[in-house]
Structure 1
């Protein structure tokens, strides 16, 4: 099977700091991949490079066979790359419905009708459990619900690749269970790449895990392989050894 997305020698420098350092990465269609690692490991910079929010200093990004290294973020969205931010980026003064209507309108042709927009919005809100809050201003939603609203906005783009940065931050335990179900549902027709600090979520959800440390990939493997990896335990999982 051909990877949906690959990077070759991908690097990003900020002054003297090499935040992402020569990363070779491959993501297969339909998988749920988690990226983990300590703070400052380069995870958010890496997914920002994939989404086009920042440009690489060197290296290459290929999506579905096309070189997208120099492509701006909005064009990547049209190709099917959707990204939700680590810090919520919802429009506080718009309702949940109107927040989701903005990306829905992008996916429809010029002949769109109000009915098409409405059904697209409500489908995304229903999937994220926010349908009953459609008329609520985003500013009045809890932080956890704002995170879910962002996921709904990403889903409304009908992405082929959905990148989620710390999606469970601020969610209550019951909401986290629903989120795990939601991501499994999304993965039936999209590929999911998530940065996540909540290790039980990572171990339950991910088919494969990529561990970043100091801008490089330290290890990759199944949840079981990563859990048993001595280097990962030392760098991140914090296990103590006798």
Structure 2
């Protein structure tokens, strides 16, 4: 099986700082991959490069066999890459429903553009994220945790092949985190998930494999069990084994 996503020598410099340093990475279709590491390790910069929010200083990104290194973010969305931001980026003055309708319209641009098709896509995404009963609330009135879930719903409405989630459980209550874990497992039946997450119990529950970043490089990669037992990872990030 071919990887869905690969990067080769991917680097990004900010002035004199190399935030991502010659990263070779590959992600298989249907995988749930967690990216962990200390603050400033380069995790968000790396996924921003993959999604096209920023351009690399060097290296190459291949998605589904095609070189996408120089494609703008909106073209990558059309290719099937959806990215939820580390900080919420919902339209606060629009309803929850309208926030999800915008990406749903993008996805349906080639097919049925009927109101009923858009409505079905929106309500499916809201039901999956537990927000259907809040569809007509202004998004700005949602709790922070629910705004994070709304971002996931917006990503799902794009029907992505690769869904990138940046700190999705931040601000969620424990009960909501349990539902989120179930949701990601369900998403992974039809898509590949790349997850930046600091909540180690969530990472250990969800990830098929974990990639550990440190100082812009990949420090280690492996199963949750292998990462938990990796002495270099414990020293750089975990402190002690979780």
Shorter-normalised TM range: over 0.9
Distance (whole Å) between structure 2 residues aligned to residue 112 and residue 37 of structure 1:
42
- In the superposition, the TM-score normalised over structure 1's length comes to 0.98
**Whole-angstrom distance in 1 between the partners of 2:107 and 2:225:** 39
**2:233 aligned with 1:236:** no
Structure 2 equivalent of residue 118 of structure 1: 119
Partner of 1:169: 170
What TM-score results when the alignment is normalised by the length of structure 2? Answer: 0.98
- After TM superposition, the structure 1 = structure 2 runs for residues 104-115 of structure 1, keeping only pairs within 5 Å, are 104-109=104-109, 111-115=112-116
Aligned: 1:185 with 2:192: no
Other-structure match for 1:88: 88
> Runs of 5+ in structure 1 lacking a partner?
none
Name the structure 1 match of 2:33. Answer: 33
Q: Displacement, 1:162?
A: 0.0
Following the alignment from structure 1 to structure 2, what is the Cα–Cα distance between the partners of residues 109 and 201? 35
**1:150-183 CA distance string (max 9 Å, x none):** 0000000000000000000000000000000000
Aligned to 1:78: 78
Give the equivalent residue in structure 2 for 1:18: 18
What residue in structure 2 maps to residue 215 of structure 1? 216
Q: Tell me which residue corresponds to 1:158.
A: 159
> SS state of the match for residue 150, structure 1?
helix
Question: How far, CA to CA, are the matches of 2:64 and 2:82 in structure 1?
Answer: 14
Q: How many Å apart are 1:17 and its aligned residue? A: 0.1
Aligned to 1:143: 144
Gaps of 5+ in 2: none
SS in structure 1 of the partner of residue 26 of structure 2:
strand
The alignment partner of 1:70 has SS state of coil
Q: Give the C-alpha shift of residue 239 in structure 1.
A: 1.6
CA distance in 1 between counterparts of 2:125 and 2:109 reads: 18
In 1, the alpha carbon distance for the partners of 2:61 and 2:226 equals 27
SS across alignment from 2:109: coil
RMSD: 0.8
- Structure 1 position 109, deviation (Å): 2.9
What is the CA-CA distance between 1:8 and the residue it aligns to? 0.1
- Quick one: distance in 2 between partners of 1:45 and 1:157? 22
Divergent runs of 4+, >4 A: none
Aligned to 2:199: 198
Q: Distance in 2 between matches of 1:23 and 1:97?
A: 38
> Which residue matches 1:101?
101
Equivalence for 1:54: 54
